[in-house]
Structure 1
Amino acid sequence: MSTLESILIGYALFITVISFIHLIRIDYWWIRIWDFPHLQLTILSGIGLLAWAVFSRNTEWPMVLAMTGLLAALLYEGWLIYPFTPLHRKQVRYIRRPKDGRKESNLIRILNANVFMDNTHCPDVLKLVDKYQPDVVLILEGNERWREALEPLQGDYPHRILHPLENTYGMLFYSRLPIQYHEVRFLIQDDIPSIYAQLKLDSGQVVHFYGIHPMPPSPTEHYRSTERDAELLVIGKEVRKQKEPVIVSGDLNDVAWSHTTRLFQRVSGLLDPRIGRGLYNTFHAQYFMFRWPLDHIFVSHHFKLRRIRRLPNCGSDHFPILITLAYAPEPVVKEAPKPEKDDLEEAAEIIERADSNG
């Protein structure tokens, strides 16, 4: 066996292991980080198989075993990514503009932007808001400097929930729509806020809005994912009881295909507008090859989608995301996720584990 083939076997073993290691239900960061790069691992698996076909074609058992692992990884990664391609059925249906051009009273346009607390491109964010005219602006990582820089928004956004913090978890919420009721809540960690607001559309319909930004598992943030997962699932269980329309928006510090995010969807019953449309990778804005969807907007079955788009970067490590939704409920939605097997028990266990170690 040549040196090149030995390298190829080692490469295949490494890619295969990191492709499947996230299936181990351990919440330490060095396991959970492998939830993220599945798009990249799909490409790397394909490169390994292509290298074998071009440079080796060795059919001895070590090589065949290694290539079988790569093929299994490629198929598995493809299965994870597939729902976020146009080949998959859309989870949130599209709704057209009315042909007569009449003003719509059931629309809500949301701009979700993790601005990166140390970012100095504040005027660029103001320009973005001015250009796209969202009804709701959720700013994540907003501190006091960002609050002051965004004061020009206050004229157009009379309804505000401002909770600046210096720990990269501050939230600044601006709304043209009236806020009937709101809370700044600390669901799991004392220094990680989330926002709950009841918004009133022009039609009079009330929408329950949740803005969240849990702490990620990483060597610089938190050694485990339990607290992040628990915050998502606390909201998921709360949303599950809601009968009125719901929107959950924010930087979840988790990817759309992870076990936790899919569990959150099944527990909450919320829909992902990206399914059947695209990944809309929002992080990392500076590195093309290291991007995945960290910023999310989930909606209840009451909504249809007018448009979703990733906006230009404004100096942050995240791209903003803009979505236009129409309140247009249907009595039955086949695509709505539902709990499977022990989902509710698993959610309760994660929340209890976070509470017991809080």
Structure 2
Amino acid sequence: MPLVKKDYWTFRVFDYPRFQKLILILTLIVFWFFEDYNKLTQVDFGILTVLILLFFYLLKQIIPYSPFSTKMVNSAKKDEKTTLSLLTANVYQYNKNFTKCMKLIKKQSPDVFMLVETDQAWADAMASLKTDYPHYIELPKNNTYGLLFYSKIPLKNTSINYLIDNEVPSIFTDLDLGHQMIRIYGIHPTPPVPGENTHSTERDAEILLVGKKAKAYNKPCIIMGDLNDVAWSYTTELFLKISGLGDPRIGRGMFNTFHANYPMLRWPLDHIFVSKHFKVKKLKVQPSIGSDHFPISVELVLDKSMENEQLKADQEDKIEAQEKIISGIEF
């Protein structure tokens, strides 16, 4: 189903459980090997052959998101000083366990954190953190697309954008480290699910549009938030090509952030993508805060060598990305 490049949710939703499909197919193959081969027909062997091919296809897709693959974003040495630490979390708007979230933030003490799916109640609950995080952007909403952004580092050139949907904001802002400016793009596009948005058109367009902006910026930048898309999807791969950014998960692990309540149904939906100017010191999925998502955090080090792997977009990729962006705007 995911091989069909259609935006309708029935195709795109099967991008998510790739690891689960791998395990299911492996289980079926194991059952087949307990069968009496003398009784198997050509059809049976055909089914087994297809299952084996599918297994290796899915394994190829999964391997990059494991420690057995080359890291896309290089690792920093332990003795290198952290330049920037970030944390992002989808808090689930109807989750009122504010204290659990605040305790995690105080314990981790990131330089920057962003919370999505935040209403006014969440904004009020975070007010006490403003002493430690005097630079902030608050966009509480009741439609599950509110954003709260807090920083210990001064912010400059902040803009609030409604790139695709007038009810779905995104944040662009620069962190002023004194010796260096780092641009942050905070986004939370709509997911392709029934009752929310039956197509991935708007989600894909927003992700790719921000990716193009990051590419044009061509300086240290980070895209973070709940992208409502898995790390291994076709759209995310196209995004990495268009943006030139790196995925810290590649070569390290899946770091699944959703669904917190169902251990067998988890995949990586919350992301922190970084430009070639960074190395990763630490990437971690944080403990539950009562949401259906786990928070994820990263410690980054500015890297002058800029030797990270980058996916390259060919002309066909660029045309497809532009078509998807136009479709999303017009949708």
Report the TM-score when normalising by structure 1: 0.90
Report the counterpart of residue 301 of structure 2 in structure 1: 326
Distance, in Å, in 2 between the alignment partners of 1:273 and 1:68 is: 35
Report the counterpart of residue 312 of structure 2 in structure 1: 338
Query: 1:300 pairs with 275, 292, 303, which one?
Result: 275
Distance, in Å, in 2 between the alignment partners of 1:250 and 1:327 is: 21
Query: 1:258 pairs with 225, 233, 242, which one?
Result: 233
Structure 1 position 85, deviation (Å):
0.9
Alignment partner of 1:76 is 2:57: yes
| Moved beyond 2 Å, runs of 4+ | 55-59
Superposed counterparts of 1:105-144, under 5 Å = 107-144=83-120
Report the counterpart of residue 321 of structure 2 in structure 1: 347
8 Å Cα contact 1:301-1:329 kept in structure 2: no
Distance, in Å, in 1 between the alignment partners of 2:281 and 2:17 is: 29
8 Å Cα contact 1:119-1:315 kept in structure 2: yes
Alignment partner of 1:289 is 2:264: yes
Distance, in Å, in 1 between the alignment partners of 2:99 and 2:306 is: 44
Report the 3-state secondary structure (helix = DSSP H, G, I; strand = E; otherwise coil) of the residue aligned with 1:198: strand
Report the counterpart of residue 96 of structure 1 in structure 2: 77
Structure 1 position 331, deviation (Å):
4.6
Report the counterpart of residue 291 of structure 2 in structure 1: 316
Q: 1:317 to 1:64 in 2, by over 3 A?
A: same
8 Å Cα contact 1:90-1:277 kept in structure 2: yes
Residue 285 of structure 2 aligns to which amino acid in structure 1? R
Query: Cα RMSD (Å) of the superposition?
Result: 1.2
> Aligned residue pairs: how many?
330
Report the counterpart of residue 18 of structure 2 in structure 1: 38
Report the counterpart of residue 12 of structure 1 in structure 2: none
Residue 138 of structure 1 aligns to which amino acid in structure 2? M
8 Å Cα contact 2:158-2:171 kept in structure 1: yes
Report the counterpart of residue 28 of structure 2 in structure 1: 48
Distance, in Å, in 2 between the alignment partners of 1:56 and 1:138 is: 57
8 Å Cα contact 1:196-1:210 kept in structure 2: yes
Structure 1 position 56, deviation (Å):
4.4
Q: Which has the higher contact order (CA 8 A, sep 6+)?
A: 2
Distance, in Å, in 1 between the alignment partners of 2:313 and 2:197 is: 28
Superposed counterparts of 1:262-281, under 5 Å = 262-281=237-256
Structure 1: gaps of 5 or more residues: 1-20
8 Å Cα contact 2:257-2:296 kept in structure 1: yes
Distance, in Å, in 1 between the alignment partners of 2:323 and 2:175 is: 32
Q: What do the CA deviations read for 1:308-335 (whole angstroms, capped 9, x no partner)? A: 00000010000000100011231544x1
Aligned-pair identity (%): 42
Distance, in Å, in 2 between the alignment partners of 1:332 and 1:92 is: 8
Q: What do the CA deviations read for 1:238-280 (whole angstroms, capped 9, x no partner)? A: 1111121010001010000000000000000000111100000
Alignment partner of 1:22 is 2:5: no
Q: 1:331 to 1:285 in 2, by over 3 A?
A: closer
Report the TM-score when normalising by structure 2: 0.97
Greater Rg by CA: 1
